[in-house]
Structures are given as structure tokens and as C-alpha cells.
Amino acid sequence: MLAMLSVELRKLNRSLAAVLALAAPSLMGAFLFFVLLRGTKPAVWSSWLQASTQIWAYFMLPMSVTALTALVAHMEHGPRAWDHLRALPVPRWRIYAAKALCVIALVLVMTGLNLLVSCAAISAAGALKPLVAPKGAPDLAHLLALNGKVVAAAVLLIAIQLWTALRFSSFVPALALGIGGTFFSVVATNAKEGVFFPWQMPVNMLAGDPARVSTALSLGCGLGLVALVLAVLHLARREVL
């Protein structure tokens, strides 16, 4: 399994995954920087960093997962490499499990980078315009735990997107699913049923209702792990992709 993970990481290193991993958090940082420059009063660390996490969980994370899973799948679909991979003397399920683990790990890294870039953007805006210089100190322990929950709640979303991207050789179904899911998540922000919608589960980690948070986390992480196992087993049994 370690060998398969090493191979997947080398593939990602040669792809545009690194660019995507940096681009999405950088966009969030640029947004915070320019919004702060328009401000007229000191920023509060906790408020701005929580707002960054909320926007990330609400929109940027689902869209990043959509792009990332399509990219991971296209690395095999594009050059028609599945016949070679599935002929290797290793259990087929390991091939798909390694891809799933790499995607989850990269989403975790991107979420951490979003927090880091947001801190840098807030500090830079404060240095350039002292009027909005942040006050107080960020509660990093709370923020790290919150971002960890966001990623855990996104496991079901990741499983659905990755299964779709690997199942279909065309990138259109996976992109359509991701764009459609994000769209309905945005337009139905206040829907009570959103706690059961995979694309809204990550942002529900910032809900004020503890029951809503626990429900979204349990479903997103628990069902997500089950969905990943089922997806890996299903894809491993297919003879032709």
C-alpha cells in the first residue's frame, strides 16, 4: 500500500495538483486582503479567520474537490492507463484506495494552507493600512479543530466526486455533478434539510446549533468512509472503465 501511495504522490507532483493546491487558498487570501483594505476599523483575528473558513467550506472546498478529483481521474483516463494499472501484480482495490487517500490528504493540506494564507493576508493588509491592523490573538487550537471538522465532514462529498470521476472516462459527469451540487448548496443555504446534503455538510461545521454540527459531521465522515469503501470495491470489480 505504501508503494501505491508513493506512486500516486509522484503522479500528483508531475500534474497540476500542486498548482490547484496553491491557487485555491491564494484566491481566498487575495479576497481577504482587498476586503480588509476597504475597511475603516481594526480587524478581529477570530472573526476574519472564521469567515475565511466559512467561505472555504461553503464554496471553495466543494469546487476544489470537483477539480481535484477530475484531475486525479484524468491522469489515468487521458492516456488510457487503466489497462496497465489493473494488470499490475497488486490487488486492484489498492490502486483506488491510494487515490482516495491522496485526494483526502491533499484536501486537508489545501484547507490548512487556506488558514495559513488567510493569516498572511490579514497581517499584510494590517501592515499596509494600520487602521485595519488586526487586534487580539487568533485561537489557533480552535481554528485547527474547526478546519479538521470541515475536512472530516467533506469525506462523503469527496467519495461521491471521486467515484464519479473514476467511473466515467469523460470529465463532464464529474464536473457537472460538482458544479450542480455547489449551485444547489449556494441557493439553498438556509434550508433545514441542508444538513443532509453532502455539499453543505462542511459548512455546517460552523452552524450555531450543536445538533446540526454533530449530525453533519457524523453523516459526512461516517457515511463518507462507508461510501469510499463501497466505491473502491465497486471500481476494483469492474473489468472495463
| Backbone dihedral angles phi then psi of residue 223, each to the nearest 5 degrees | -65, -30
Q: Is pLDDT larger for residue 85 or for residue 182?
A: 182
Cell of 194: 441542508
Could you tell me which residues come within 8 angstroms of residue 92 by beta carbon, excluding any fewer than 6 positions away? 86, 235, 236
- Tell which wins on pLDDT, 190 or 64: 64
CA dist., res. 156 & res. 134, Å (int):
36
Q: Are 72 and 162 in contact (CB under 8 A)?
A: yes
> How would residue 241 be classed by pLDDT, with cut points 50, 70 and 90?
very low
pTM (2 d.p.): 0.89
**Is-contact 152 220, C-beta < 8 A?**
yes
Reduce the DSSP state of residue 135 to 3 states and report it.
Answer: strand
The SS3 of residue 196 is helix
What CA–CA distances, in Å, run from 95 to 48, 99, 199, 227?
A: 40, 7, 26, 16
- Cβ atoms of residues 191 and 54 within 8 Å: no
Euclidean distance between CA atoms 17 and 9, whole angstroms? 10
Whether the per-residue pLDDT at 118 is higher than 80: the answer is yes
- CA-to-CA distance for 155 and 161, rounded, in angstroms? 10
DSSP letter at 221? I
What pLDDT, on the 0 to 100 scale, is given for residue 109? Answer: 93
pLDDT above 50: residue 37? yes
Specify the range with the lowest mean pLDDT, choosing from 134-143, 169-178, 231-240. Answer: 231-240
* SS3 label, residue 205: helix
Q: Over 90: is that where the pLDDT of 55 sits?
A: yes
Average pLDDT on 172-195 reads: 85
